[in-house]
Amino acid sequence: MKNTSVLGVPISMINQRQLLKMIDDAVRSGQQMTIVAVNARKIVRAIHEPEMKRLLMGYDVFLADGLSVARAAGPMTERITGVDLMEEICRQSARTGAKLFFYGATEENNLAARKKLKTAYPGMRIAGHCNGYEDEDVVEKIRESGADVVFVAKGTPLQEKWIMKHGKSTGSSILMGVGGAFDVLGGKVKRAPGFIQNMGLEWLYRMAWEPKRFQQIPELLEFRRLVKKEKSR
């Protein structure tokens, strides 16, 4: 798999179908693959914080999670959001039997996500779960569950750090940071309608629902400015 780069952060040149096949192959062969969803905020942080950059560079697959990142990465890169990929992995699990572990979010939202997904894909296999706040023996729990795929929904950079620190010890094949995906898939947080996503305005929609996200505006503006600058070179 080839990578391109946006402001020094790798982005995998892969589409969702190819990635799902790679995930299935990795699960079958017991190979480990770590996946990070890259958005504009993570890229700007990586520019300013060497530790964030080092952390991201340790991953195997880099999703162009945001539309602005996918656009900056060029026509060979498909936008793959963490939420969509997670849902597709659940769908695929119903067919392949891959066992899934849900780690993160509140107990209530973790349960809501599992319930909604299990209703949509009844054959999917849930190996276990743990909320993101009482997680002392979670590595043990995951190991004992025999999970093939672990979704880590603790937000950035907590989830990225956790995967790099503990991923290997879980014995699972796929480790993927999914941010607020449990909240969205469980129906507790609304996702922007398709047309707003296609306009690249999902960030604005999320800010309207969660005003604390307004503090992210400077990072998003900086991203746009830096991409423009890089393109004009």
The contact set with ligand UDP (CB under 6 A) reads 104-106, 109, 132-133, 153-156, 158, 179-180, 182-183
50-57 and 40-48 helices cross at what angle (nearest 10)? 120
d(CA 138, CA 188): 24
26 or 44, CB closer to ligand UDP? 44
Alpha helices in the chain (DSSP H): 16-29, 40-48, 50-57, 67-73, 82-96, 107-120, 138-145, 158-170, 181-185, 194-198, 202-209, 217-232
Q: What is the DSSP letter of 126?
A: E
Shortest Å distance, C-beta 154 to ligand UDP: 4
Shortest Å distance, C-beta 21 to ligand UDP: 26
27 or 153, CB closer to ligand UDP? 153
35 or 105, CB closer to ligand UDP? 105
Shortest Å distance, C-beta 182 to ligand UDP: 6
Contact between residue 103 and residue 151 where contact means Cβ atoms under 8 Å apart? yes
**Is 122 buried (19+), middle (13-18) or exposed (0-12) by CB count in 10 A?**
exposed
Shortest Å distance, C-beta 220 to ligand UDP: 12
10 or 186, CB closer to ligand UDP? 186
155 or 200, CB closer to ligand UDP? 155
Shortest Å distance, C-beta 54 to ligand UDP: 18
